[in-house]
């Protein structure tokens, strides 16, 4: 029977939950192949919403810490994946300005192609999903990291909507680096005015997709 996790304070909930689960695993409470408590059990133990738990689990799955098996549950990944994850997180914390430039170039290339593709093929359901994620940037918590993570979710959905599983995997594999690049290269969303400017920049991307204009979508990503 795994130990009971303690509730966490309000703030950057998704990142805090992801960190708590990762530290729990690294501390030896669970071994490779062990099953995590159910979603409802995690909600109860950590005192957060199901949405927060799902997003935290998704982040850890992208990093290779967890493996989600349909109808079976969520499991701790094998040792090789755990080792790769540790290296990835460590590298993200020590990213240099030159490496940051390289990752921004990689991200820009992937997202420009994705934006063009989505503008050409997006269904009304995909557009509605992006609209909802755009609203979440406005509704993010008071901390800067909350806003950056909401921004990240919008861009991840954009890449996924393009329908290329390879580029989606590459993008998600570099989750920590991309988030680090957002933190280092994006003006701090400190107040409502800054949030409004962020909203306006992303609205240009979404409007180009609504208008099915690939050139405008790519230009908005460049901007």
pLDDT for position 11: 47
- The three-state DSSP-derived secondary structure of 55-124 is HHHHHHHHCCCEEEECCCEEEECCHHHHHHHHHHHHHHHCCCHHHHHHHHHHHHHHHHHHHHHHHHHCCH
CA–CA dist 171, 221 (Å, integer): 15
Residue 189 vs residue 159, higher pLDDT: 159
Binning pLDDT at 50, 70 and 90, where does residue 140 land?
Answer: low
> pLDDT tens for residues 72-126?
888 987 755 555 555 545 555 566 777 778 888 888 999 999 999 999 998 888 8
Task: Return the bridge partners of 35, or none.
Answer: 75
> pLDDT tens for residues 11-60?
468 878 888 888 888 778 888 888 999 999 999 999 988 888 988 887 78
């Amino acid at each position: 029977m795994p130990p009971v996790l303690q509730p966490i304070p309000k703030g950057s909930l998704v990142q805090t939950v992801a960190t708590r689960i990762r530290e729990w695993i690294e501390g030896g409470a669970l071994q490779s192949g062990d099953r995590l408590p159910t979603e409802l059990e995690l909600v109860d133990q950590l005192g957060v919403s199901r949405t927060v738990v799902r997003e935290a689990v998704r982040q850890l799955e992208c990093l290779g810490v967890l493996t989600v098996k349909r109808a079976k549950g969520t499991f701790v990944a094998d040792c090789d994946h755990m080792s790769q994850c540790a290296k990835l997180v460590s590298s993200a914390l020590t990213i240099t300005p030159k490496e940051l430039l390289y990752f921004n170039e990689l991200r820009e290339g992937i997202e420009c192609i994705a934006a063009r593709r989505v503008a050409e093929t997006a269904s009304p359901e995909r557009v509605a999903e992006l609209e909802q994620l755009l609203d979440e940037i406005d509704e993010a918590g008071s901390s800067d990291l909350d806003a950056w993570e909401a921004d990240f979710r919008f861009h991840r959905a954009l890449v996924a909507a393009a329908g290329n599983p390879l580029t989606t995997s590459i993008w998600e594999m570099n989750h920590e680096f991309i988030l680090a690049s957002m933190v280092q290269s994006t003006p701090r969303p400190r107040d409502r005015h800054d949030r409004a400017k962020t909203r306006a920049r992303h609205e240009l991307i979404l409007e180009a997709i609504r208008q099915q204009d690939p050139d405008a979508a790519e230009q908005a990503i460049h901007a």
